[in-house]
Amino acid sequence: MRKFDYLKPKTLSEAFDLLKQHGRKAMLIAGGTDVIVMAKQKKVSPDVLISLREIPELDHIQYNGNLSLGALVTHRDIEKSELIREQFSALTDAADVLGSIQIRNVATIGGNVCTAAPSADMAAPLLVLGAQLKVQSAKSERTIPIDQFFTGPGKTVLAHGEILTGIEIPKLLPNTGSAYWKHQRRQALDLPILGVAVLLSLDKGTFTCHDLLCTTSPISAVLHSLETEELVCEEIRIALGVAAPTPIRTKRAEDLLRGKKISDELLEQVALAAADESRPRDSLRGEAWYRSDMIKVSVKRMTMRCIERILQPAETVFPTRLW
Amino acid sequence: MNRSSFNVHGSLLEGHAMQKQTIHFILNGDPIEVEIEPYLTLLQLLREKLELLGTKEGCGMGECGACTVLLDGKTINSCIFPAMEVAGKNVTTIEGLRDSRGYLHPIQKAFIEQGAIQCGFCTPGMVLSAKALLDENPNPAEEEIRTGIAGNLCRCTGYIQIIQAIQAASKQGSTK
């Protein structure tokens, strides 16, 4: 690893000055669980690391209908937040399974987004939650919708001299549930083979037959029974990780479901459409055909999990559940 | 080229000499001041500067947990943690677990009694993860123990005796 200097600015203004002073020899570092690993692997060779940890106000979690997260919020903080678990569940699903506790205590959501791996666990949940990224530079501020942020594996629209300072999740519709599934071989310390996030908003938050979800029947059977409830999808968002060069939304698949009644056949079509929109590749963790198959299965399952979270929010989801 | 900017570490930084930094922190309960190169990881600081060899390097990439130490009571992978960031904080290594009389911590005793140590390489990190778990959740269910140590790999035991050791330690009462 190349030897670097390690600077700890106390304000954003100081950070911008340092970024300007050192130019491309400098890299920003938050938790460092990506940057230090990349430096050790010689994938990056900064002469200077500029740490964001001493800058105040970058690690807040604020909620007033919409959720405001500072870029330096750790994944462990997200894991521990009951509010995020209840209201923005997909984010917690991802934080629960990212790396390990040791990593989560240090790694930040801003870092996960800015490293911009196609497999970034937080990306797919943030995509379905419609996250807006707050980016600042010495002279200006801008807000970037997350679906315009990633440009390629490890690449974003961030210019040198810009710092991601926060992530805003706008208020969600009532009767909304979200979920994220990290398809991985191990239960920790693994990258996903595939990541699937779904957000679903229904026209109502209750149903008449309460036994419908307390079952070990196949998903299709449950969905057929659910059709009698005539639940209408008001909003649907689907995002995939490790299924394209960047994390993506599958908007054409979403269009098939938006405004329509939930039914087994329709969810099948939506899942197929999502797989069609993806561009997975063969890699160490899985082949493209397998990822495609898993998209078809898991989009349906995660939609089911959303339905359960909307209709039975007080119930804990049992691990033996099919979805 | 300005000769004065060529420092003993062999790295040429234009107009900027990379100097050692002095940091102050609490190590195993005692305040300490140490001079470090700014690029050191916490693991390097502990093993190479302070000769505390209890913390081990497994993968060097934050993927095995052998290097686990506690920072303000929370587990971290010291092999990828910048030493510069412990300034003002509390670091606990495996060496810090003995009590003031030098007796082993209840978790360490339970590991020995339950046969949770074979080669011993994962043990320091595993014990500290167990401590962080029990500090937060004094009576964990088996699933919670498994999740609590999921960041620490063991190639020898198959984890069963480790889980039993943590269960035994939790039954013992206070493990703080």
List the one residue out of A275, A128, A214 whose CA is nearest residue A267.
Answer: A275
Q: Tell me: the pLDDT tens digits for A218-254?
A: 888 888 888 989 999 999 999 999 999 999 999 999 9
Q: By the 8 A CB rule, do B154 and B111 touch? A: no
Tokens of A272: 């197929």
Q: By the 8 A CB rule, do A259 and A247 touch? A: no
Tokens of A321: 């559940």
| Nearest CB neighbour to A3, from listed B18, B77, B81 | B18
Q: Tell me: the pLDDT tens digits for A45-102?
A: 999 999 999 999 999 999 999 999 999 999 999 999 999 999 999 999 999 999 999 9
Show the DSSP H helices in chain A as ranges.
Answer: 12-22, 35-40, 75-80, 82-87, 89-97, 101-104, 109-115, 123-128, 219-226, 251-257, 264-277, 288-311
In this structure, which long-range contacts are made by residues A185-190, counting pairs with CB atoms below 8 Å and at least 24 apart in sequence? Answer: A185/A285, A187/A97, A187/B146, A187/B147, A187/B150, A188/A97, A188/A99, A188/A100, A188/B147, A188/B150, A188/B151, A189/A99, A189/A100, A189/B63, A189/B64, A189/B65, A189/B150, A189/B151, A189/B153
Angle at A182 between CA A250 and CA B77, to 5 degrees: 130
3-state secondary structure of A254: helix
pLDDT above 70: residue A1:
yes
Size of interface A-B (CB pairs under 8 A): 96
Q: Tell me: the pLDDT tens digits for B77-135?
A: 999 999 999 999 999 999 999 998 999 999 999 999 999 999 999 999 999 999 999 99
Give the pLDDT score at A68: 98
List the one residue out of A66, A63, A278, A77 whose CA is nearest residue A176.
Answer: A66
Same domain, B113 and B90: no
| Nearest CB neighbour to B80, from listed A32, A53, A101 | A32
In b/e form, how buried is each residue of A236-248, taking b as 16+ CB within 10 angstroms? bbbbbbbbbebbb
CATH of the domain at A42: 3.30.43.10
Residue of B nearest to A39 (CA): B80
**Beta bridge partners of residue A129, listed in sequence order:** none
**Are the beta carbons of A33 and B80 separated by less than 8 Å?**
yes
HSE at residue B46, side-chain half, CA atoms within 13 A, is 30
Q: Which of A156-160, A309-313, B52-56, B160-164 has the lowest mean pLDDT?
A: A309-313
CATH of the domain at B117: 1.10.150.120
CATH of the domain at B30: 3.10.20.30
Residue B85 placed within a domain: yes
Q: Which of B73, B95, B117 is the last residue of a domain?
A: B95
> How many Å apart are CA A114 and CA A36, to the nearest integer?
14
Range of the domain at A90: 61-169
Give the pLDDT score at B1: 41
| Nearest CB neighbour to B60, from listed A25, A40, A106 | A40
Q: Tell me: the pLDDT tens digits for A183-200?
A: 999 999 999 999 999 999
Same domain, B20 and B90: yes
What's the Cα-to-Cα distance from A136 to each of A16, A155, B37, B118, rounded to whole Å? Answer: 9, 18, 31, 52
Tokens of B65: 């947990």
Residue B52 placed within a domain: yes
Dihedral, CA of residue B91, residue B92, residue B94 and residue B98, to nearest 10: 140
Range of the domain at B115: 106-172
Residue B9: pLDDT band with limits 50, 70, 90: very low
- Is B81 within 8 Å of chain A by CB? yes
> How many Å apart are CA A127 and CA A238, to the nearest integer?
8
Same domain, B58 and B28: yes
Q: Which of A121, A144, A169 is the last residue of a domain?
A: A169
Same domain, A205 and A130: no
Alpha-carbon distance A313 to nearest alpha carbon in chain B (angstroms): 22
- For residue A188, the chain B residues in CB contact (below 8 A) are 147, 150-151
Residue B140 amino acid letter: P
Same domain, A15 and A132: no
Same domain, A19 and A73: no
Same domain, A95 and A200: no
Residue B2: pLDDT band with limits 50, 70, 90: very low
Domain total in chain A: 3
- Is B175 within 8 Å of chain A by CB? no
Same domain, B86 and B114: no
Residue A209: pLDDT band with limits 50, 70, 90: confident
Residue B122 placed within a domain: yes
> How many Å apart are CA B21 and CA A2, to the nearest integer?
17
| Nearest CB neighbour to A102, from listed B16, B68, B84 | B68
This prediction's pTM:
0.94
Q: By the 8 A CB rule, do B140 and B130 touch? A: no
Strand order through the sheet with B90-92: B30-36, B21-27, B90-92, B68-71, B74-77
